[in-house]
Structure 1
Amino acid sequence: MLSASLAWKLFWRDWKSGELRVLIFALWVAIGGLTAVTLLVDRIDRGMTKEAAQVLGADRIVSGPRPIKPEIKAYALSQGLTVSDLLWFSSVAVAGSEFELATVRAVDDAFPLAGDLAIADKPFTEGTATQGAPKSGEVWLSSRLLALLKIEVGGSLQIGVSQFKVAGVITQEPGGSSFFNFSPTILMNLADVPATKIVQPGSRLNYRLAISGDENSLQNFDQWVKDQLDNSERLIGAASGAPQIGSALGKAKNYLNLSGILGLILGGIAIAIAANRYATRHFDHSALLRCMGLRKNQVVITFCLVLLLAGLLGSLLGGITGYFINELLIQSLSDLLPEQVPPPRVASFLINLATGLTVLLGFALPALIRIRSVQPMRILRRDLTPMSMSGWMTVVIAIVTLAVILYWYANNWTLVLSVILGGCLLVAVCLGCSLVLLSLAKRLAQKRSISMRFGIEHLRRHKGASLIQITAFGLTLTLIATIFLMRNELIADWQAQLPEEAPNHFMVNIRPEEVAALNEQFEQLSIKASHVFPMVRGRVVALNEQDPKDYLGENSRGHNSLRRELNLTWASEFPEANTLLSGEWQMAPAENPVISIEQEMAERLNLTLGDSMTFNIAGDEITATIESIRKVEWDSFQPNFYVIFNDQALQKFPSTYITSFYLSPDRKLVLNDLVQAFPTVSIIELDLILSEVRKVLDKASLAVEVVLIFVVLAGLAVLFATTRATLDEKLYESALLKTLGANRAFVRKTTLVEYWLLGLLAGILAAIASEGLAFVLYEYVFKMTPQWHWWLWLGAPLAGMLLVVPAGGLGNRKVFSLPPITLLNEH
């Protein structure tokens, strides 16, 4: 009780005197930025995921070759979720003398649960938004299928043994666009399926249960249903159902999580510096309390309670500020953000409050332990400064605190370890390089003005404090530079993978004799198309002349390529949207086949250059040696392959060809010409997926821009706390200099020289560390090609000086203005 009462009095006194304001301000900025970032990340992430579900047609899809278990649908309904029954199968559609293989989607009246279904009266025109299934006895057809069957709306076609009236044309369909959907589409009423008598024992069917609803219910469903699915069933979400959107969302979430993590680290650094200054200034108070009879533990508990009160105040202020900033951003950016941005979750505030207190105690613990060690004798001998904790112990406490909190937020050990190792690398570089740089600075300043020599010599005399400042400034600049690099490279990567004229149509099932005519047709119609690739189907049957199960052991199921047939191709030219990682691209015709394989496939199958793979193609086996390994941009909307053979290696096998091309919306009728010229070719329209990916990328880019602002603000808090940490020493030294005859201009100039040099050294170190940290993040987190940033080596030192020098000048205004007698009386 005594500790609580005393702690309140100390807190109130320190608040009025300004002792706690720096610490509370640092915590306020850290938690305010963290709250705004986490709320923004969470709400935009949930909003973008919800919006991306429009491509899938629902929030979740349970898919399998047999009817979905009734208990799954019952549980979904019990959770308040909306459901829709779907059945997909392939069938030949017949109209008069014309027939065509089509993908039939039988739907109920709840279809679609997400996205827009549009039906028109004529092909390739703008349709009317529609909800539900066609009337019984009627069907809706894709525009291509009308042209292939040579019928019009109002005509009839046969599916199975039943006749149906063509009641409309599908111009937009959620869940219908897919890279693997090679056949044109028919939408029919689910109730009409039995009459077709297509569903027979042994039929290849895809039963689907579409599910949509609120987030909590969906999460409960996800957890429950995983144990209910067998090996043939899948639970599909927006990311897995639309891989291109999933890739964009994944990179955006990683960046936003990284931004929140780095902002939190900056806040922790500011708190550690402010807490250390607070403890140092209270050594005398601790000694006085010991003289009045308090034991060591009571003193520590008292000051812990003081910091706890400060932490609660700072965290509450930060949480409230972050909430209002987040709401302001959501309102001001409403036109650019997802259409439905979910409300903030109460749990986020509680987590951020707990985070603020954890960061405060974790980073302030070394300083509090020093307070515990203050001896009562310090009342008479002020030189009895308590020993600080072991440097290793301080580092361990800081790293453990960071690791726990960072994993709590990011849930990604790779991201957390990358950040921590990068920070440790910077600290190590600072300790090793700062002394060298300070020594070089002294030599360069020997013939300079006395104020410059004095400022540099002051840094050398106080090496410990200088190293702390360089480390703090360097970490701040490193984290800001890393976020800036990630922002630029991530947006550039998105723009590169999805240019304005990215392919939005695929053509498959092209016969070899049609390739030349198709290229000629593309040229006549001024259509921009990618390379036309041959394609055969083959299954992996051996790795290095061993059965895959024997070669990989328990990991034989680690890659989907072992469970299905692969699309194989051959080429002499290096494909677009690929990067050669190792080996050589020597794909000329040869007696012994060679292959180039995709990077992740090589890693999962434990293959490297010189290893061999054996494929079964149409009953024949062919063995090839791995000549090169490629990185493939799967979300580039280009034809891509896991395995590419050397030129003509598979020419003896029956093959079809595949290509992709861009067609602007106002030229959609050109598809009719292509269908008429090549009636056996299938055209896959990807406009819906492409449109949704662009929307997700635009909104993710905006979130990236906003988050960068908070990281910079957190960095400024570190600069402010660092300059305040050395304020007492500078006040005393400036008083001595003024007493000895130095004028105000000299004191100002020597102080600014110190910060000029600190900013320069911190910028150099930040350039080194941010390049290393960015390399790790590019390679292992964002899966991007690392790049060298020459401008960083000029920009980081310049930014260091532009940030540190003004911060030092503002933080030391009292040093310049107060008369020496006042300063000496205070000290």
Structure 2
Amino acid sequence: MEWQLAWRLFNRELKQGQLVLIILALMLAVLSVTGLARVSERLQVAINGQASKFIAADRIINSPQPLDEAILAESEELGLSLSRSLQFNSMVYAGDAFQLVTVRAVDDNYPLKGTVELSAPQPNKTPLHHQLWYESRLAGLLNHPPSVELGNSQLAMSAEILRLPDGGFNLFASSPVVLMRLDDVPATGVVQPGSRVTYLYQFAGDSSALEAFEEYAKPKLTSSQRWVDIQSGNSPVASAVKRAERFLLLASLLGIALACAAIGIAAQRYCQRHYDVVAMLKTFGASAKQIRWLFGMHLLLVTCVGVVLGLFGGFLLDMAITPALPAEIAAYDAPIWRPVLLGIATGFISALMFSAFPLLKLLSVPPLRVLQRQLESSSISNWLHPLLSLLAMAVLGWLYSRSLTLTLTVVASVVLLGLLLALMGYLLVSAGRSVGMKTSSPVALALAGLRRRARQNSVQLVGFSSALVLLLTILALRQDLLNEWQQQLPENAPNYFLVNIAPEEVAPLEAFIQSHRIEMTDVYPVIRGRLSAINGEEVITPEQQRQGERGRIGISRELNLTWRETLPPNNKIMSGHFNERANEVSVEAGVAERLGIGLSDKLTFIIDNQKVDVEVASIRAVQWETLQPNFFMIFSKEALAPFMYTSMASFHLEPEQAGVILDLIKQFPTVSIIDVGAMIVQLRGIVAQVSLALTLVLVMVVLASSLVMIAQTEAGMASRQKELAVLRTFGASGSLLRWSTTLEFAILGAVSGVLAVTVSEFALWILKTRVFELQVSAHFLWWWLAPLSGAILVACLGLWRCAGLLRKSCGDLLKLEV
């Protein structure tokens, strides 16, 4: 019986349009979450897929010894592609000339992602037997021989390498790279038991198989073996991908918060409209259990319709956006189940949690309300509603992002917005009380309306402010991310680096560069040294610790050291001062934290078998993702003056000036030239895709915010219709009503703008310092632009929605059914 009554109630109110608002809110919630999640995951998969070409695979295991075959067998069972390669240093000979090289011995599957770019096309993707592919500078160093000797083998120099997909960006790896077949290595006799070699195992496949393989393999790796993915390290790609993923997560999380606000508002409006219905049912003898069942089933039907429509809309949105994406992004397909499950969970959890308090108030309405309509439930504590709402938002945020920082940031922003709304509601009521019911001017009538609808206006402020907060936060983060990436990769970014510059060649080289009107960046001296002690305590490598030696853990390799009289670009002093006295050193913040180094600590380095004692003068933050030389330790010039050094520099060269490189090689044959132009092009391609992702998400957020604002305007139409009818009856003119309505909505919009700026600045401060590692800056322009834009936008929306009511006569208004 209750089920039939619930269905009849649902069917009747659906036909009458009384469920439009709550179904629209639920649909908007599910559509926003499903659509944002679907598009975000597609973009995320595409960005990671494109960025994985930087490591020529999806995942890599880097090992100093052969990997356990059981791990490799597991990768094959999961359907992953595998490429094995070997890396080691060796000498190659051509007649009397010889050169140290970095050998990459690869199998036929290499590379799993990307391609090896050669100066001339080859029919095969890797070298043939007894062939060597080489970097162009090797040929110049060996006087362009047709073949070279590597150990016991004679290998033909068959193709010149322009770029390896996983070549990376290491200016200090001055040895030229050569590529050969893995099965040709035994014949060279170079690799013997005890040789220092690196085994590289590269894997590629779908995301689920990679995740399963990671769960299996990672715990089985030793401390000397390293798991690598595109987000490992401090590469420019890793930083861009990490920040893009965080941005997409945040956008979807804010979409959830926006949807939750819309559902809460719609549920409250729904329950208010049924106070009289519940009072009448109780008067006619309906039991509390019957009423709970009736409205519980009614709400379930409404939720199901909203969820289904939202899922359908989310997929329509994805289908509409996908054709507009570039082919390299549209080619990727993201898993479909997660957006669907997330949309369903959002619909049902938010409908339950955000409707619980209004529904409890509805069910506790006294029967006497039939006679005294001002009566409402007073037995329900008002603190229950915000508590349930925050709990629902936190649960949904955690389910989606799995990030405690992002979830707490959104919840804290909502709490701040609630406190500001309470304060602003009090001020609005106070302002309205001073003018009472005066109708002498549009301003007085607008303020009186704000007072009369204080509770309803506070609800509308939630929607308007939430939409503006979402817009401002996403807009600011998107712009800051794009600005930072553009600063890292400007149009004139250096595309050639010069290394191994002897001291006597610095001045002639600078003169050569200036004669060709090329601007060269700073010249950095480079000296190799090892950190041996901190405050007199000897440091050891992690390998020495595993062998039982005692001491403080240090860095397991020699460091590239430099000196500077001024702070380098893309470095920021976090504490201390930059090398004002002799024997001072500036330490990078990450290394300082890992080794427990602080200001005034004494460090001992071994350079050319000599001890150098220095004092830590400053701790620096370094932007490792920039295509610039960066150093862990920067000394004063006096500290490193006794030691021999080489230098490095960089410059930007336009394509039409390529002939300068040949002249430079002839004049300075010992200087190594590294061309990173192809890498910059690839980096810019990935940043362009990330920028597109941010723009698309911003557009979706704008659309979702607009729908919430429209829904909020719709929520107050019933009471406004009654008020207009009364004012018309007492002779108010149409012009007075139009102006007062416009001003009332404009004041709401301006107040929403002020609240939005306050909350956005708070949220951005947390996000930039804790999540995105961006520089914090105030947005002073927002403090007048956001209230002005909010006033204009909300006033236009309100006037557009009220236009039909304002045109009606008093009689027509009274005849309309509320």
TM bucket, shorter chain: over 0.9
Match of residue 710 from structure 2:
720
| Distance verdict in 2 for CA 1:119–1:767, change over 3 Å | closer
Match of residue 198 from structure 1:
190
- How many Å separate the matches in 2 of 1:629 and 1:386? 61
Match of 1:128 among 114, 121, 125: 121
Match of 2:211 among 208, 212, 219: 219
- The structural deviation recorded for 1:521 is 2.8
- How many Å separate the matches in 2 of 1:509 and 1:543? 30
1:269-288 equivalences in 2 (<5 Å): 269-288=261-280
Gaps of 5+ in 1: 121-126
- How many Å separate the matches in 2 of 1:204 and 1:667? 41
- How many Å separate the matches in 2 of 1:652 and 1:449? 88
| Distance verdict in 2 for CA 1:821–1:202, change over 3 Å | same
- How many Å separate the matches in 1 of 2:87 and 2:458? 67
| Distance verdict in 2 for CA 1:192–1:440, change over 3 Å | same
Match of residue 93 from structure 1:
92
Match of residue 689 from structure 1:
679
Higher deviation after alignment, 808-817 or 281-290: 808-817
Match of 2:166 among 157, 170, 175: 175
- How many Å separate the matches in 2 of 1:574 and 1:821? 78
1:190-339 equivalences in 2 (<5 Å): 190-240=182-232, 243-335=235-327, 338=329
Is 1:809 matched with 2:799?
A: yes
Match of residue 513 from structure 2:
522
- How many Å separate the matches in 1 of 2:434 and 2:642? 75
| Distance verdict in 2 for CA 1:253–1:441, change over 3 Å | farther
Residues 103, 186 of structure 1: 8 Å contact kept: yes
- How many Å separate the matches in 1 of 2:477 and 2:439? 40
- Percent identity between matched residues is 35
CA deviations over 1:400-452 (Å, ceiling 9, x no partner): 11111112222222122222212222222332355447767999999996121
- The structural deviation recorded for 1:724 is 2.8
Residue identity matched to 1:27 = L
Residues 31, 343 of structure 2: 8 Å contact kept: no
- How many Å separate the matches in 2 of 1:323 and 1:685? 45
Residues 756, 805 of structure 1: 8 Å contact kept: yes
Match of residue 769 from structure 2:
779
Residue identity matched to 1:726 = G
- How many Å separate the matches in 2 of 1:823 and 1:612? 84
Residues 7, 306 of structure 1: 8 Å contact kept: yes
- The structural deviation recorded for 1:165 is 1.5
- How many Å separate the matches in 2 of 1:318 and 1:773? 28
SS in 1 for 2:631: coil
Residue identity matched to 1:728 = A
Residues 177, 688 of structure 1: 8 Å contact kept: no
Match of residue 693 from structure 2:
703
- How many Å separate the matches in 1 of 2:705 and 2:414? 15
Residues 55, 688 of structure 1: 8 Å contact kept: no
SS in 2 for 1:635: coil
Higher deviation after alignment, 440-449 or 280-289: 440-449
SS in 1 for 2:510: helix
Residues 118, 129 of structure 1: 8 Å contact kept: no
- How many Å separate the matches in 1 of 2:616 and 2:231? 32
| Distance verdict in 2 for CA 1:604–1:453, change over 3 Å | farther
Match of residue 161 from structure 1:
152
Match of residue 725 from structure 2:
735
- How many Å separate the matches in 2 of 1:573 and 1:560? 30
Residue identity matched to 2:48 = T
| Distance verdict in 2 for CA 1:115–1:452, change over 3 Å | same
- How many Å separate the matches in 2 of 1:295 and 1:46? 54
Match of residue 124 from structure 1:
none
- The structural deviation recorded for 1:94 is 0.7
1:343-358 equivalences in 2 (<5 Å): 343-358=334-349
- The structural deviation recorded for 1:783 is 0.8
- How many Å separate the matches in 2 of 1:613 and 1:469? 61
Residue identity matched to 2:321 = L
Match of residue 794 from structure 1:
784
Residues 755, 808 of structure 1: 8 Å contact kept: yes
- How many Å separate the matches in 2 of 1:441 and 1:613? 69
Is 1:467 matched with 2:466?
A: no
| Distance verdict in 2 for CA 1:729–1:209, change over 3 Å | same
| Distance verdict in 2 for CA 1:239–1:822, change over 3 Å | same
- How many Å separate the matches in 2 of 1:469 and 1:610? 57
- How many Å separate the matches in 2 of 1:165 and 1:788? 61
Residue identity matched to 1:682 = S
The number of aligned residues is 809
Residues 56, 242 of structure 1: 8 Å contact kept: no
Is 1:44 matched with 2:35?
A: no
- The structural deviation recorded for 1:659 is 2.7
Higher deviation after alignment, 188-197 or 742-751: 742-751
| Distance verdict in 2 for CA 1:504–1:240, change over 3 Å | farther
CA deviations over 1:158-201 (Å, ceiling 9, x no partner): 01122111222122322123315321111111111111111112
Residue identity matched to 2:711 = A
- How many Å separate the matches in 2 of 1:502 and 1:262? 35
SS in 1 for 2:231: helix
Residue identity matched to 2:387 = V
- How many Å separate the matches in 2 of 1:738 and 1:444? 20
- How many Å separate the matches in 2 of 1:129 and 1:439? 81
- How many Å separate the matches in 1 of 2:490 and 2:401? 30
Residue identity matched to 2:223 = N
Residue identity matched to 1:723 = T
- How many Å separate the matches in 1 of 2:464 and 2:809? 30
Match of residue 6 from structure 1:
5
Residues 45, 334 of structure 2: 8 Å contact kept: no
- The structural deviation recorded for 1:461 is 4.5
Is 1:766 matched with 2:746?
A: no
- The structural deviation recorded for 1:226 is 0.8
TM-score (ref. length: structure 2): 0.92
Match of 1:507 among 498, 509, 517: 498
SS in 1 for 2:376: coil
CA deviations over 1:74-106 (Å, ceiling 9, x no partner): 222222222122111111111111111111111
Gaps of 5+ in 2: none
| Distance verdict in 2 for CA 1:573–1:446, change over 3 Å | farther
Is 1:109 matched with 2:105?
A: no
1:475-624 equivalences in 2 (<5 Å): 475-543=466-534, 562-585=555-578, 587-588=579-580, 590-591=581-582, 593-605=583-595, 607-624=597-614
Residues 445, 452 of structure 1: 8 Å contact kept: no
- How many Å separate the matches in 1 of 2:429 and 2:123? 72
SS in 2 for 1:805: helix
Match of 2:384 among 390, 393, 399: 393
Residues 428, 450 of structure 2: 8 Å contact kept: no
Residues 113, 211 of structure 1: 8 Å contact kept: yes
Higher deviation after alignment, 17-26 or 522-531: 522-531
- The structural deviation recorded for 1:46 is 0.8
- How many Å separate the matches in 2 of 1:597 and 1:447? 69
RMSD (CA atoms)? 3.0
Residues 110, 131 of structure 1: 8 Å contact kept: no
- The structural deviation recorded for 1:232 is 1.3
- How many Å separate the matches in 2 of 1:499 and 1:272? 46
